Each structure stands twice: as structure tokens, then as C-alpha cells.
A = this chain, B = another copy of it.
Amino acid sequence: MNAADIQELTGLVREFCEERDWDQFHNPKDLAIGISTEANELLDLFRFKSEEDMREIFASTDKKIRVEEELADTLFFVLRFAQMNNIDLKKILEDKLAKNGQKYPVEKIKGKNLKYTELD
């Protein structure tokens, strides 16, 4: 993966939206809808698919591009949500990892697919 600063990508997204005068529509609720609907277009590509089907998707150039496009649309709205609401993505990710590190201590969760509410 190439170096890619989040600020730089966010700048591209902001420019794209500002050129189109879209600030007026981009309130938090509708941007959160944007993340959810795009995430579900990504999810839809794996509906009813087996492990083998999924390997086939990533082995096919055409199908892999579909996956990448839906993931890109999801990322677009994540960056836009942060930009419109002055949220520092690096900071909140680091803070959340620190918090989740306590909810999911390595010695209790290692190799388990449990929710922290299911840990004793």
C-alpha cells in the first residue's frame, strides 16, 4: 500500500462535494445513512456466499473491482462525516483501540469470537 495521508484523502472528498455544492445535504444523519447504505452494497456481494465463493470473487478482476468500489464508497462517507463534523480520525481510532484493548484483554479473548459482554 502506498503512503496516503488521511488529510490528503479527506481533502479530495471535500473538494468533490464542495464543487457540487453538497454541504447543504450532508448533515450527520444523512452521512451516516450514506455509510450504512454503501456498507450494505458491499455486504450484498457476499450474501449467501461460501468461503469458496469468496475466494472466487477475489480471484476475478471484475468481481474484485466491484468489492473495491463499494468499499471506496463506504470510505468516502466515513471521511466526509469526519470532515463535516471536525472529527480527527487518527485520534478517535487510537482512543477507541485503547478502550477496546481494555474491553478485550489479550489473555481472555485470544482466539475467541466473543463479545466483551460474553467474557467472564
Identify the A interface with B (CB < 8 A).
Answer: 1-7, 9-10, 12-13, 16, 19-22, 24-30, 32-37, 39-51, 53-54, 57-58, 67-69, 71-76, 78-79, 81-82, 85, 87-97, 99-101, 104, 106, 109-111, 113
Query: Among the listed B20, B33, B78, which residue makes an inter-chain contact with A71, where contact means beta carbons less than 8 Å apart?
Result: B78
Task: Give the number of times this chain occurs in the complex, counting copies.
Answer: 4
A71 to B91, CA, bound (A): 12
List the 8 closest A-B pairs by CB distance, nearest first: A4-B90, A40-B40, A72-B96, A29-B46, A48-B113, A32-B43, A72-B92, A25-B48
Which B residue's beta carbon lies closest to that of A25? B48
**A16-B100, A27-B54 as given contacts; A32 in contact with B46, CB under 8 Å:** yes
